[in-house]
Amino acid sequence: MNTRTSLPRLGAMTALALVALTGCTAPTAATPAGTPAGEVLRIDDAWVKSADEGMSAAFGMLVNAGEDDVTVTSVSSAASPMIELHETVENDAGEMIMREIAGGFVVPAGGSLALEPGGNHIMMMDLAEPLRAGDEVSFTVTLSDDSTFDFTAPVKDYSGANENYDGADDHEGMDH
């Protein structure tokens, strides 16, 4: 066997094999520039607190599979004519209160943002009808690039997280 011709030939064949293999690899989580945010954002483990009337809230884990931060600017649902994005903050008295978050929810690139009782959440006011455990609620999420995504969440009984609210007089009976 002539090693002078075999080694270069082997090297060339190895390089060609590597090029062929890299062309066959699975796609990565990377998204091309200009991809609508609604195509890279999802919500996992979504659920809504049951309520007879007044107010409720939606929770879950917002997950951003994209390479850029995504900002949720609004949420809509037939279940509630007035929906706000709420955060938990400490007031001047040191109490944790809920209030509408300025600028919306920012979900970091390649990361997630928890929506949970006692934390960030989607606040549903003036419920259109009672939300009973076992029901499902559909939502449309609007993002800062004006793209959207839809999700449906089951309604569950939950008795915790009866927080205080900034401007509580404006939101009588606000517990979720």
- For 11, 12, 37, 105, 154, the CA distances from 136, given in Å and listed in that order, are 60, 59, 25, 23, 4
- Pick 84 or 176 by higher pLDDT: 84
Task: Write down the H helix ranges in the chain.
Answer: 3-22
* Predicted pLDDT at 160: 65
Across 8-19, average pLDDT? 43
| Of 2 and 57, more confident | 57
pLDDT per residue over 135-158, tens digit each? 999 999 999 999 999 999 999 999
What is the pLDDT at residue 27?
37
Q: Quick check: 65 and 38 in contact, CB under 8 A?
A: no
Asked if pLDDT for residue 14 goes beyond 50, the answer is no
Q: What is the DSSP letter of 70?
A: E
Quick: pLDDT tens for 35-53.
Answer: 899 999 999 999 999 999 9
18: pLDDT strictly greater than 50:
no
